[in-house]
Amino acid sequence: MKIPLLDLKAHHTPIEKELLAAIGEVLRSQAFILGPTVKNLEERIASYSHTAHAIGVSSGTDALLVSLMALDIGPGDEVITTAYSFFATAGVISRLGAKPVFVDIDPTSYNIDPDKIEPAITAKTKAIIAVHLYGQIADMSAIQAVADRHSLKVVEDAAQAIGAENQEGKRAGELGDLGCFSFFPSKNLGALGDGGMVVTNDAALAEKVRMLRVHGGKPKYYHSIVGGNFRLDAIQAAVVNVKLNYLDGWTAARQENAKRYTELFIKSGLVEKMGVKLPKPIYKDSGTAHFHIYNQYVIRVPNRDKLRAYLKENEIGHDVYYPIPFHLQECFQDLGYKKGDFPESERAANETIALPIYPELTAEMQEEVVSRIAQFLIA
Ligand SMILES: *Cc1c(COP(=O)(O)O)cnc(C)c1O
């Protein structure tokens, strides 16, 4: 059985009529740039993430970029972040002329290890970007405590974590100074193209992001600051508005799938006999429905690269998020890091594999995924 890593056709087909109607409405209104559709989504995302303000932007990457711009990050500044994330997290720091400073991850959650942040702080450090990788909130209380001690700003890269909650029921995006979401199609809440959102409880930062997204003009054509075109398209906002109605159901389906994988992996003997490591939600005991929203289901396996080849041969979708930690990327070589600097990030890059977890995945497909892995690793 061929099993894709993600099946966007299965995801969109049941809501195709609704999506087309929403797109048609924008077409007939001719309000393509910002306007009521974008505003409506902003209000709903603010409410969904328990924040006072939300600003629709052109992508998750631009949400991060514009957040750092709103914090006046630039040449001479250092921004601390994880060594292990999607490229955008570190790329935006460099693009503003600031210096990314990397910190290793916690091997269980794959999120930044808060204990390693303080030693990385210098007089130039201005901010921390915390990433909620795979859909689980980083240890924000520990991160915020460090930030408070050194008067640093905290930006949440919540691209993979919309709706995720910590042990206190606080949601991704409401914990830092600014929170960033992505509507890239493979995220839990995806557009039919690019889009993103910045959320914040700080009215002044919200106002600044709003200005920056339209070249810094306020009023139009009067520029006290330099921004860019970072607007969210009304058509994409209309699509995301429809899909937001389904998000909690999709999250529940992802969580059900994760639970089923855990049962199947334990039953298969892979955990006990082969030392396969399953995702461990750190907020499990909180009782919140959203402790981990499983944008990705990532396991650690022995013999990872040979397993990948076997799965590919057998048409089982999978990927590695991410094969090269930031400090080993060619473009960051001038930062002076070397192999061995962040051993947990390097280990994660070598040992982990992401399996299909999308809401439409069936129990039968999951059984096939686990039995293929067992066939390779045990037989
Ligand atoms: C997807 C992603 C981004 C970037 O979002 P885009 O909308 O693709 O620009 C940033 N950070 C992380 C962790 C992501 O997963």
Residue range of the domain that includes 94: 8-244
Ligand 1: centre distance to CA 159 (Å) = 5
Q: Scanning the structure block, which residue is given the tokens 């594999």?
A: 353
Q: Residue 188 burial (CB < 10 Å; 0-12/13-18/19+)?
A: buried
Q: Among 89, 105, 155, 162, name the best residue to mutate to test ligand 1's pocket (greatest count of ligand atoms within 8 A of Cβ).
A: 89
Query: Does 354 sit in the ligand 1 pocket, CB within 6 Å?
Result: no
Same domain, 223 and 262: no
* Best CA proximity match to 127, nearest among 149, 141, 147: 147
Q: Could you say which of 186, 212, 244 is where a domain stops? A: 244
**Amino acid present at 299:** I
| Residue 214 falls inside a structural domain | yes
| pLDDT, tens digit only, all 379 positions of the chain | 999 999 999 999 999 999 999 999 999 999 999 999 999 999 999 999 999 999 999 999 999 999 999 999 999 999 999 999 999 999 999 999 999 999 999 999 999 999 999 999 999 999 999 999 999 999 999 999 999 999 999 999 999 999 999 988 999 999 999 999 999 999 999 999 999 999 999 999 999 999 999 999 999 999 999 999 999 999 999 999 999 999 999 999 999 999 999 999 999 999 999 999 999 888 765 555 678 999 999 999 999 999 999 999 999 999 999 999 999 999 999 999 999 999 999 999 999 999 999 999 999 999 999 999 999 998 7
Same domain, 230 and 267: no
Same domain, 232 and 261: no
Ligand 1: centre distance to CA 374 (Å) = 32
Q: Could you say which of 194, 215, 244 is where a domain stops? A: 244
Same domain, 183 and 117: yes
Report the distance separating Cα 69 and Cα 212, nearest Å.
8
Q: Could you say which of 218, 244, 270 is where a domain stops? A: 244
Ligand 1: centre distance to CA 59 (Å) = 8
Q: How many domains does the chain have?
A: 2
| Residue 80 falls inside a structural domain | yes
Other C-beta atoms closer than 10 Å to the C-beta of 260 total: 16
Contact 235, 23 (CB under 8 A): yes
Same domain, 55 and 191: yes
Point out the ligand 1 atom lying closest to the alpha carbon of residue 295. Answer: 15
Query: Does 190 sit in the ligand 1 pocket, CB within 6 Å?
Result: no
Ligand 1: centre distance to CA 289 (Å) = 24
| Residue 2 falls inside a structural domain | no
Same domain, 72 and 172: yes
Point out the ligand 1 atom lying closest to the alpha carbon of residue 85. Answer: 13
Ligand 1: centre distance to CA 61 (Å) = 6
Q: Is 291 helix (H, G, I), strand (E, B) or coil?
A: coil
pTM of the model: 0.97
Positive or negative torsion for Cα 251, 254, 258, 263? positive
Give the CATH number for residue 363: 3.90.1150.10
Task: Write down the pLDDT at residue 289.
Answer: 64
Task: Write down the pLDDT at residue 55.
Answer: 98
Task: Write down the pLDDT at residue 167.
Answer: 86
How many Å is the maximal CA-CA distance in the chain? 69
Q: Among 131, 184, 240, name the best residue to mutate to test ligand 1's pocket (greatest count of ligand atoms within 8 A of Cβ).
A: 184
Same domain, 135 and 207: yes
| Residue 199 falls inside a structural domain | yes
Segments in the chain forming alpha helices (H): 8-12, 16-29, 36-48, 60-70, 88-95, 140-149, 203-212, 234-244, 247-268, 270-274, 304-313, 343-351, 363-377
Q: What is the per-residue burial (b if ≥16 Cβ within 10 Å, else e) of 144-179?
A: bebbeeeebbbbbbbbbbbbbbbeeebbbbbbbbbb
Report the distance separating Cα 44 and Cα 33, nearest Å.
18
Same domain, 200 and 122: yes
Same domain, 295 and 237: no
| Residue 1 falls inside a structural domain | no
Query: Does 111 sit in the ligand 1 pocket, CB within 6 Å?
Result: no
Query: Does 61 sit in the ligand 1 pocket, CB within 6 Å?
Result: yes
Point out the ligand 1 atom lying closest to the alpha carbon of residue 59. Answer: 7
Among protein residues, the one with the nearest Cα to ligand 1's atom 7 is 60
Positive or negative torsion for Cα 361, 365, 370, 373? negative
Same domain, 174 and 268: no
Query: Does 182 sit in the ligand 1 pocket, CB within 6 Å?
Result: yes
Among protein residues, the one with the nearest Cα to ligand 1's atom 6 is 60
Report the distance separating Cα 45 and Cα 119, nearest Å.
35
Cis peptide before 310 (omega within 30 of 0): no
Other C-beta atoms closer than 10 Å to the C-beta of 272 total: 10
Task: Write down the pLDDT at residue 281.
Answer: 82
| Residue 26 falls inside a structural domain | yes
| Residue 18 falls inside a structural domain | yes
Q: Among 57, 61, 298, name the best residue to mutate to test ligand 1's pocket (greatest count of ligand atoms within 8 A of Cβ).
A: 61
Task: Write down the pLDDT at residue 288.
Answer: 55
HSE-up of 271 (CA within 13 Å, CB side)? 13
| Residue 260 falls inside a structural domain | yes
Same domain, 89 and 159: yes
Give the CATH number for residue 80: 3.40.640.10
Same domain, 227 and 278: no
